Amino acid sequence: MSLSYKARRRWALVILLVGLPAYIVAAVTVVNLLNRPPILVELLVYIVLGIIWAIPFKFVFRGVGQADPDQPDD
């Protein structure tokens, strides 16, 4: 079952307002557990973690910025 446009917009908002800050805290915690590696390694870890978080939610964000396809044209 696929999500409706409004449901995808709501889930995208929840993910961005709740999930992303939680993921940022988790990413910083992971880097701190590595005992502050050299700056290039730290940058690489942040880049990889920044890409990985979005992969599972790609279907939620797809088309959210477009006009509602279910709304009739006026």
What tokens were used for 6? Answer: 């409004």
One-letter identity of residue 35:
N
Q: Which domain holds residue 42?
A: 5-55
- 10-residue averages of pLDDT along the chain (74 residues): 80 90 88 87 87 85 76 68
pTM of the model: 0.69
Domain count, the chain: 1
What tokens were used for 11? Answer: 């889930």
- Residue 70 in domain: no
- Residue 27 in domain: yes
Q: What pLDDT was estimated at residue 73?
A: 66
